[in-house]
Amino acid sequence: MTDKLKLLTPATLILDDKSYSLPTYMGVEGEKAIDITKLRSQTGYVTLDDGYGNTGACESAITYIDGEKGILRYRGYPIEELAAHSRFVEVSYLLLYGELPNSEQLLKFSTRLNESSIIHEDVHHFFNGFPRGSHPMGILATMVASLSTFYPLPDRLDAETEVQIVANLVSQVRTIAAFSYKKSIGEPLVYPSIKYKYTGNFLNMMFSSPVRDYQLDPDIVRAIDMLLILHADHEQNCSTSSVRTAGSSMANVYAVITAGIAALWGPRHGGANQEVIKMLEQIHAEGGDGTEFINQAKDKNSGRRLMGFGHRVYKNFDPRAQVLKEHCDKLLNKPGINDPLLDIARRLEEIALKDDYFISRKLYPNVDFYSGLILRAAGIPTNMFTVLFAIGRMPGWLAHWREMIHGEQVTIYRPRQIYVGETLRHYQDIKERV
Strands 32-34 and 18-26: antiparallel
Tell me the C-alpha distance between 227 and 89, whole Å: 13
Q: Of the residues 231, 233, 368, 400, which is catalytic?
A: 368
Nearest alpha carbon to residue 202 among 359, 375, 29:
375
Mutual orientation of helices 272-285 and 367-377 as an angle, nearest 10°?
Answer: 70
Nearest alpha carbon to residue 163 among 402, 405, 404, 406:
402
3-class SS shares of the chain: helix, strand, coil, % to 5: 50, 10, 40
- In the DSSP assignment, the letter for residue 416 is -
Is 233 designated active site? no
Nearest alpha carbon to residue 275 among 363, 394, 366:
366
Is 368 designated active site? yes
- In the DSSP assignment, the letter for residue 188 is P
> Cα(first)–Cα(last) distance of the chain, in Å?
56
Tell me the C-alpha distance between 142 and 237, whole Å: 22
For residues 261 and 140, the answer to whether their CB atoms sit within 8 Å is yes
Q: Of the residues 231, 233, 234, 311, which is catalytic?
A: 311
CA dihedral (207, 211, 214, 215) in degrees, to 10, reads: -170
Strand order in the sheet with 6-15: 6-15, 18-26, 32-34
SS3 state at 409: coil
Q: How many CB atoms lie within 10 A of CB 378?
A: 20
- Residues annotated as catalytic are 311, 368
